[in-house]
């Protein structure tokens, strides 16, 4: 009887541990399609869309103009991310630019471009 109790406890512990590890795996929040709007730039409000993916542990992607998908895409040179913040670096019109965004809720981001222009981001449906 003592052996069967040990076997049952071991089995129960294994199932519980497996269930907990599946439920506590964090979602990769920034992976997916996003649209960013930067307000008040010298050329008016600017919109960018991107599909961020994670390769070799790093976020990657490129920016495009949602109003003109055939326009040349802007390469993202670097992305820094944490659990609730992301900074996207790219070059536009000869200037090195950064877009710093923080999680507002599950589908929106708020932040700024170059610390000067307010920006927002929304998650696009896949």
What confidence tens digit (pLDDT) does each residue in 22-46 have? Answer: 444 457 999 999 999 999 999 899 9
Rounded CA separation 82/101 (Å): 11
Characterize 2-29 residue by residue with b for buried, 16 or more Cβ atoms within 10 angstroms of its Cβ, and e for exposed.
Answer: eeeeeeeeeeeeeeeeeeeeeeeeeeeb
**What proportion of the chain, given as a percentage, has pLDDT over 70?**
79
- What's the confidence (pLDDT) of residue 4? 65
């Amino acid at each position: 009887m003592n052996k069967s109790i040990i076997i049952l406890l071991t089995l129960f512990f294994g199932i519980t541990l497996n269930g907990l590890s599946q439920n506590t795996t964090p979602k990769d929040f920034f992976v997916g399609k996003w649209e960013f709007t930067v307000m008040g730039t010298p050329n008016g409000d600017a919109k960018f869309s991107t599909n961020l993916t994670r390769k070799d542990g790093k976020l990657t992607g490129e920016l495009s103009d949602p109003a003109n998908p055939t326009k040349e895409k802007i390469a993202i040179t670097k992305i820094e991310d944490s659990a609730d913040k992301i900074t996207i670096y790219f070059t536009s019109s000869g200037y090195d630019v950064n877009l710093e965004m923080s999680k507002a809720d599950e589908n929106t981001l708020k932040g700024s471009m170059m610390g000067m222009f307010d920006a927002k981001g929304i998650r696009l449906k896949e």
